[in-house]
Structures are given as C-alpha cells and as structure tokens.
A and B are shown apart, each in its own frame.
Chain A
Amino acid sequence: MFFALLPEILMFSTAIVTLVGGVLVESRLKKDAALVSFPIFYVLLVTLGLIFYTGVNFYSTAPTGLQQLFLFDHILIDSFSQFLKCGILLLFVPVLVALRSYLLAERIYAYEYVVLMCISVLGMFLMLSAQDFLLFYVAIELQALSAYVLAAFRTDSRFSAEAGIKYFIVGVLASILLLVGIALLYTYTGTTQFHDVNLFLALQFNDLPAVIILALVTFWLGLMIKLGAAPLHFWALDTYQGAPLAVTGFFALLPKFALVGFFLRIYYQVFAGFWSPYLLTYGSWTNYFGQSFEKAPFIVWNWIQESHAHAVARINGDPLAAFEQFTPQAHMVEHFLLLPHLTGISLLFLLLGGCSLIVGTVGGLSQTNLKRLFAYSSLANVGFLLLTFVPATADGFQGTVFYLIVYSFMTVNFFMLLMAFHLAYRNPVHSIVDLHRMNPLLAFTATVTLLGLAGIPPTIGFSTKFFVYYVLVANEYYWTSLLVVFTSLVAIFFYLRLIVAIYSGGFRNLHLGSLTTRLSWDFTFTFIFYFFVVNVLFVLFAPELFDLCALFTRLIAMQFDVATEVIVPIIQRG
C-alpha cells in the first residue's frame, strides 16, 4: 500500500540508521567516519530505482502516469514529483561523494553531515509531493532546519558560524512570510489544500479580494527569499562563502532544484490561469498607473510611426494620405511594447529575475574568492530561471525545466571542480590562477565547465540560454531579451576572466601534475562521469533532452488541465 511512498520511507530510515549506526560504529571507525556514507549510495540507488519505477511510467493506463494520494490527500505521488525527485537524487550523489572526500581530507570525524543531508532531502521530497500548504510548510521547515545546522557545522570556523546565523535568521524570516501567506489564504478560503484553493480561485469571476493578492504575494516573497533571488540574496553570498565547501555545493544544487520544482507545481496546479489575469485588476497595487501604464511606450512609438508616415506621404506627394489625420486600423504598424502581457506576478518575476541577473553578473566581477564567485554565478543563473517564469506559457515551463536540469548538472561540475581544488591544493581560493602549469587536465576541465556556464556555443549551456531567448522573444518581451543580451555579455566576461586566470602563466616550466594522485577513485570517477554527462551526453542528445522537457510540459498541462499553448512548431516544422 505504501509502495509509492518507499522513497520517502527509505530516505527517513537511512537517516535514522546512519544516526544510530554511526553512534555504534564511531569508536571503531575513528579515522574514517565518512565511511558511514557508503551504505547510503546503495540506498540511493534503490531509491532512484523506486522513483523511476513509480514515477516515470508513461505506459500506464493513465496518460499522465500513475497517481496516488496519501495521508488524507496531503501527499500526491505522480510523475511530476517523482521525476523531480529523480533529479534531486542525481544531484545528491555527487554531493555525497564530494562530502566523503572532503571529510576525509579535513579529518572531520563527523557522520552527522550525512544524516542532516538525508533529512533535508526528505524535506525536499515531501515538498515536491505536498498537496497541502501546511504539509508544504512542515516539509520546507524540515529541509531548512537541517540546512541551517549544516551551514554552521564547523564549530572551529567563524565563517561557518556566521553563515549559519545569517542563513538561520533570514530563513526564519522567509518561513514567517510563508506562514503569513498561508494563514491569510486559510482565513479567506477556509482550506489549505491545493485542490480546494484552486477551486476557490476558479470561482472568482470578477475580482480577487485584495487580501488574497496579499496572501499570494507574501507567500511568493517567502519562496523568493529562500531561493536567494536578488535583491533578497545577501544571505546567500555569505552563506555560500562561509559554509564548508561540501555544504556549499549542497546548498547550490538541491534546495534550488526543489524550490523551483515546487514553484512549478504551485504555479500550474494552484494558480495557473488565475494568478495571471486576476491580479492586475482595478484597485490592485500593481495597477497604480491605471490601464495606460503598459500602453505608454506603445503610444509614443505609434506617434513616431504616424509622423514618419505623414512626412513621407507629403514628400511622395500623396495629398490624401498627408491630409488624413487618422490611420485606419488596417494600417496598424507593429509595436514593440515595453512590458507586454505583463499581468500579475509576471512583473514581480521580471523584477527579481532582472535584478538577479544584473547583481549576479556585475557583482561577481570584483570577486577573488572562488566560493563567493560560485555564489554570484548561482545568483545569475537563478535570474535566468526566474525570467523563464515571466511569460506564463508552456514555452516558459519547458524552458524552466530544461534550464534547471542543465544548470544543475553544470553546477555539479563547477562544484566538483572547486572540491578538486580544495582536495588537491591546500589553497583553494586562488588555485585557479596559473592552473595550466600545475595541472593541464584539470585546466582543460575547468575551461570547458566555465565555457558551459557562460553559455558559449557549442556547449549545452548555450542551448538553454538560446531557449530562454526564444521564450522571451516568442512572447514579445523584446526589452527583457535586450536586458538578457547585455547581462549575458557581462556574464561571458565574468567567466572568461577565470579562464584567462587559468592560462595566465604561459608555458615556461610546465609542471605536469597528475589528477589522480591526491583524489580518491570515487571522486575522480564521479567527476569524470558528470563531466561526460554534461559535455558529451547532453550535447549529443540535446534534442532528446529537449523533447523530454516538452513531454514533461505536456504532461503537466494534461494533468492539471491547464489551458497552455503547446509548442508544436518548434519541433515539427521544417
């Protein structure tokens, strides 16, 4: 009966068994307390298999795969959540591998890292399957509390303590905002179930009450703080820098993936179609300038067009056209609106996405610390992810999933690179300078990883960025796409600077270092495997990956019965 819930049960039991077992064997494994993480790989494999079996099952009778509700309709196990849980586990494996090598190298005899990470992942699993706001809150608290402790784990480091405190305080603030949103929503809808809230919103024909808007925006703000989007990102920079490196990787990969996945669910299941048009109504706070706010640039542009046409008509000696003061509708010129189709939450996503892009790229230019640089690059990519939410269409959904998957794997690469620096060279933050002389293989790996993150063809990072451009242009967000162009340029410089630093030493006295001497076999294998996956597999099978995201999009549209425009032409027309 609880077969579908086995991933969660397994994750929980792994945490418990590791906790108890760690206490029992700790005295015997004094030197290698990280060995306790080995059984976890096996459990992870089993969990992955289970998730794959229960979730990714497109051949069942239901077109959307198997679905089952548990816990009095509070948990929904369906293809959407299981697919995302697969992703989380695929990202969890390298974090564990890196963690093991990190703990061995730093001689930290603490097995509790793994326990906390497992509990955090359990929280993420519940977050993705939640069908109730309160369960979601419990799950996100579970995830966040373990994360707070992980950030502050190194008791001998001031930076770690600072990171933990900042993360804790800001995270609690975010949780308060979430709870306020949920409470307000409950006050006016009388329910916290996603399905019931969806029904309630569907029955609002004219106007959403301002309180509902307040509730939704507060909830959304809490999520954005947790995601670390600018201008609410300040905690993330210090947390990433201060936390131990393995934990930084954990933060950069897993909570983001889970939060964006959850946001996809809540956007499309609960608020789809209703969040958009009903927020921008008369009297709502986003409509301060009235209906003409959106149209102002159009009016100016149209006036320019008209006067030009008028002048040309006069020059061409066409008295009738010159005399006409009103252009017939048939002669309407195309206009490029500043903020087209911006309804409701799209404006907020645009603001936060644009801000994240700008802060992430420009702010990262002056960094010398690699961990902080990693944080800024995460911030810029979060900006891209938020911008894919701006046009609330199926294109955007597909772009989000595609970007999320590719970005997460590229971040795994970057994180493993940083970990390799830390393990092989005692001074990790400056290891990237002159890397070519020390270790040409690692230099090549670093170059390819950074080129992928910069979004330079022919890496897969370029395909994701191109699709973000396509999504923006196809939904007529031309000015937004211009902003993305300019920030991409800054981002390219941001990553090129690192590449130049790698090759800055020239060729005199080339020391051929070996990648394998100070790195363990499992770390090397995982690094090579993920490098291969991102740079060879994704590039060769980019169409298949893209089609997978399209399939996923159509699945969501079918499951939640959302009226989205399915993008057929991008694949079929030739």
Chain B
Amino acid sequence: MSLDYVKYLLLKQSSFLSVLLSVGVFITLAIGSNEVLGFDLAHTFLPLFLIMALAVYAGSDRGIWILTLLGSFYTLFVSFLMAQDRFPVHHHIVFDKIYAPWPFFEGLAHPVGEFILGTHNILAADQLTYVFIVLTNLVVFISILVSRSLVRDSYKGFIYLFLLLQFLILQFFLALNLLVFYVLFEAILVTMFFIIGIWGGRERRTFAAYSFFLFTAFGSLFMLLGIAFLAWKIPSLSYFTLLAEVPFFSMQLQICLFILFFIGFAVKIPMFPFHLWLPEAHVEAPTLGSIILAGVLLKLGGYGMLRFLLPFFPAAIDYLLSPLLLLCVISVLYSAFIGLCQLDMKKIIAYSSVTHMNFAVAGLFAGDYLAVQGAIYSMFSHGLIASALFLCVGVVYDRYHTRLLAYYGGLSNVMPIFSGLLFFFVIANTGLPPLSGFISEITVLAGLANVNLAVSFLLFLSSIAITINFFWFYNRICTGPVSPHLHAVRDVRWDEGVALLTLASLVIILGIRPALLFDYCDFVASYVRSQSLWNFWLPIGSDYLYYKRG
C-alpha cells in the first residue's frame, strides 16, 4: 500500500463524515477545553482547536467557511461572556495567586517557565486585555464572514494562516511575561508577512511584505535589547516583579530603556519616522489582511504601551513628555495632510489610521484619566471603523479591481446601498456625533487639554483635515457623474452587508452609550496612570531627578 493510495482513501471519505469528525473535534475541545487545559483562559485557544478541527476536515471551501464561521462566532461569544466574568468554569489546577495592583480575572502559571525568566503569571487577563480580545474576535469573525468571496486562491491555506494569526494575537494580549510577549509580537509578524506576501495583489506586495517585516523587526530588536537588559538587571521578566522594580531605576537608565521599548512600540503604532511600512502594507495586502492589520495589529503597539511602557517608566515619560507629544502631533498632522494627496483609496484610509492611532497615543502619554480612557476607547472604535472602511474598499476592489480614485465617480448610482454604508463609515471616521469617533476624539482632547492645551488644539486641527479628506474621498467615489469606467455590478452581497451592518451598529451603540466601554475600563485606566512620577518618586533635595540608585 503506497502513500498515494492512502491519500486517495482519505480524500474519498464523504463530506458528511468529515464534517461530523471536525465538528466533534471542535466541540469536544472547545467545551472540554477547560477540562483539558484546566484553566479559564482556554477560550483563547479556540482558534487553535479550530485549526485542529479543520485539519481533519476534507470537504469543500464552503464547508470550511461554515465551520470556521461557527467556530469564530463561538469564540466571540465565549470571549464576550468571559469578559464579563459570567462563564462558569471549573478549576482543576490550582494556580499561584496573582498579586496584582488591580484585579485580574484569572491567570496561568506554567512550571515550564523556568527558562523564560519569571516562572509565574505568564498568561493573565484583565479588563484591558478583554477589550482587545473582544475586538480581535469580532474583527476575525467579520473577516471570516466575508472571506469566501474575497479570497480567491488557496482558501484553506488562508484560513489556517488567519486562524493561527488570531491565536497568536489572543495569546499576545494575554502575555504577562516580557519574553513571551516578545515572542508573540514577532511571531505575529511572520504570519502577517505570509498573508501580505502571498495573497496580496500585485508585484509590489513583496516589497511591502519586506518593509512591513523589517521595519517592525528593527523596532522589536531594540526592544529585545531592553528585555535582555532587564533580564540581567532585575533579573526577572515577570510582570509584577518588573512593576515593582523598574520604576525605581535611575533616571538615565529609565530614559535609555524607555527609548528602546518606545522604538519597538512606535514602529507598530506607527509613529512618524517609522510609519512608512503602513501605507505600503495596507495597499498591497489582501482585503482581509488590511482589515486585520488596521483593526487589530495597530493596537498591538498601543496595548504594549498601556501594559508595559506606561507603568514601567513613569519618570522617563514625565521627563520626555514634550518630545513625545511633539512626535505624536507631527505624526497626526503629517499623516492627516499627506492623506489629502493620495490617489489610492487604501492609502487614504491607511494615513487616517496613522492619525487616529497617534491621537490615541498622545492621550496615553498625557496621563490624564480622561485621556487614557479616551485612548482605549479610541483604539477600540478605530478598530471597528477602519476595518469597516477597508472592507468597503475591498468590496469595491472586488467589483472593479482598481483602487485608484480617478476611475471612480457616481458610484451611488451603481451601488446605492454600498454608498450609504460607506457614507456612514466616512462620517464615523471624521468624528461626527453621536458616533463613537466623536466620543473618542472629544475625550482625548479634553484629557489632553488638562495637560497641554496647545497640543490639544493641534490635534484638533487634524480632525479638520480628516473631515476634508474623507468627505472629498466620498465625493470623488460616490457622488457626481457616473464615471465611464464603472460598469454595472452587483451591489453589496449579504455577507458583506451583514458584516458592515454589524460594525455600523456597534459604532452607533458605542457612540450613544460610551459608558459601556468607559465603565469597563475605569479601574484599569485609573491605575495605569496612578503609578506616575508623583506617587513613587519622593523629592529629596534638588537632585531627585537625576541621581537615583540604578
């Protein structure tokens, strides 16, 4: 019996049996994962279980799509319940208690962590984590919904890669040990590199994939030096040990480490000198790649700042506040105005992503409670809106296979429903009340005004630029005379419509009742910034700023 015959036999089994097997595997692992893995964060392993279930599935692309859809919906549902601490779980393994300054839901201590410098508390979740986990699961669910029409080649491979990416992102948000954090940070890059490099549209995708990977790896390697330094100095990479030790480093050391970590996160956000990869990556990535890139991957940098940079280096942030805010302002204004000159639709949205993310980061550095709340809210709402915008562009690209604005005009005559949805997201992006974009802007600006009114005003100017940008964008595409290049195409399909409507409804709900998110992140936001300079650093004479034990 040769290997070929065995393969033949495997492929010939009926779809029904393989569906049963896959679904059975998934349900067993998903429901029983708390029994199998024995801890509360097992729901983050669901994408991995989905991959395992798909591995035994031998059906059509449609079957893969349905299975993945159900699996990712289940993941979203469970994570939403876990976020509110409502899911009944059974503990089989007794863990180390997490001695956190603020309440964490649960955590996993792994004995194999001897090697990674800090045996305890490798994975743990709190409200901040769940904000991003729910965002990730939502964006992935939306993407899977539309994936079948938007992915043309090797659907199964793409789904595998996509689910692997989801798994790595979820673990990233849970990671509490600095080395685990770093490993996942980089592993996500690899997956994204393949998505951009293989499923991207044109020849330039190779260059875009390289620039994406190398830019981010460049920043990450500086962060790795900082991690190695902390591993030597403390010597631990466990989050709570670091939290207790690092704020007491001398000013010079804090500044050096801050700069190293900051470069790592600044490339991801992206901030001004390191932002060049974003327009390239977004333009060349496939639609789904862009959706997850804008929706989730940009938030990795913001989350890293919230989790590691702000609590660890309060003195350095206080010392370097002016240059940091300057950098944020430059990024915001630069990208807002550069977006006006773009010819490619995706580039416009990419530059607006840069603007919104740097808006949030300015709020983070400001330190005001309102600003931090606004930053978290802004990251969440930007995840929704940017994903929706990229999905809209993806719909149009799927119909007409071009992203150049010059070819478009009067699309509302050809695709009226789509134009309506696009208009909704355009006004959401510009920050019109009562949608979530407005809440995020007003909160960050109010918080910043408490710290530095000038910066607040300069950031507000970008809002004007984005409004101009996007209304002109909408004007060029949808209104006016119908462009001769546009032929009659199908309007929004049901899967795209459901995806866009879901995102739209969430934007409206969050805009009308922002307390949903603000109440949830209340404790985290207050605690992240309460560990500031003025709490830990006691002024002793005149030299407290420069001469501290290292």
Residue positions of A touching B, CB distance < 8 A: 305, 309, 312-313, 316, 318, 321, 330-331, 333-334, 451, 456-458, 462-463, 466, 469-470, 472-474, 478, 481-482, 485, 488-489, 492-493, 496, 500, 503-504, 506-507, 510, 514, 516, 542-543, 546-547, 569-571, 573-574
Contacts and interface: CB of A to CB of B under 8 A. Distances in A.
A507 B190 CA distance: 20
B547 A466 contact: no
11 contacts: A334-B550, A457-B182, A457-B186, A474-B228, A485-B221, A485-B222, A485-B224, A488-B221, A489-B214, A503-B197, A504-B206
Given A485-B222, A489-B214, A500-B206, A334 B253 contact: yes
Nearest to B153: A507
A573 B190 CA distance: 31
Given A457-B187, A496-B210, A503-B198, A466 B153 contact: no
A462 B186 CA distance: 10
B182 A514 contact: no
Contact of B542 (A321, A334, A469, A472): A321
B218 A489 contact: yes
Interface string B238-272: 10010000000010110000000000000000000
A482 B226 CA distance: 11
Nearest to B194: A503
Contacts of A496: 193, 210, 213-214
Contacts of A321: 542-543
Contact of A316 (B189, B194, B238, B542): B542
Contacts of B236: 573-574
Interface residues of B, number: 53
Nearest to A308: B546
B190 A451 contact: yes
A393 B542 CA distance: 40
A404 to B, nearest CB: 18
B546 A456 contact: no
A441 B112 CA distance: 31
Given A485-B222, A573-B236, A493 B153 contact: no
Contacts of A571: 114-115
Contact of B238 (A333, A462, A482, A574): A574
B342 to A, nearest CB: 27
A570 B235 contact: yes
B360 interface: no
B169 to A, nearest CB: 14
A259 B327 CA distance: 51
Contacts of A331: 543, 546-547
B83 to A, nearest CB: 27
Interface of B: 3-4, 112, 114-115, 117-120, 153-154, 179, 182-187, 189-190, 193-194, 197-198, 206, 209-210, 213-214, 217-218, 221-222, 224-225, 228-229, 231-232, 234-236, 238, 241, 250, 252-253, 542-543, 545-547, 550
Nearest to A493: B214
Secondary structure of the A contact surface, majority rule: helix
Contacts of A451: 190
Contacts of B545: 312
Contacts of A503: 194, 197-198
A218 B3 CA distance: 57
Contacts of A309: 546
A466 B228 contact: yes
A456 B241 contact: no
Given A331-B547, A466-B179, A543 B114 contact: yes
A493 B210 contact: yes
B178 to A, nearest CB: 11
B183 A489 contact: no
Contacts of A466: 179, 224, 228
A394 to B, nearest CB: 14
A312 B546 contact: yes
Contacts of A312: 545-546
B156 to A, nearest CB: 11
B214 A542 contact: no
Contacts of B213: 492, 496
B547 A500 contact: no
Contacts of B187: 456-458
B224 A482 contact: no
A339 B234 CA distance: 23
A331 B543 CA distance: 10
Nearest to A332: B547
B186 A456 contact: yes
Between B3, B115, B206, the greatest number of chain A beta carbons within 10 A of the residue's beta carbon is seen for B115
Contacts of A510: 154
B217 A473 contact: no
A438 to B, nearest CB: 15
A462 B252 contact: no
Given A496-B213, A546-B115, A333 B232 contact: no
A569 B235 contact: yes
Contacts of A457: 182-187
- Which 5 A-B pairs have CB atoms at the shortest separation, nearest pair first? A543-B115, A507-B153, A474-B232, A457-B183, A473-B228
Given A569-B235, A573-B235, A318 B542 contact: yes
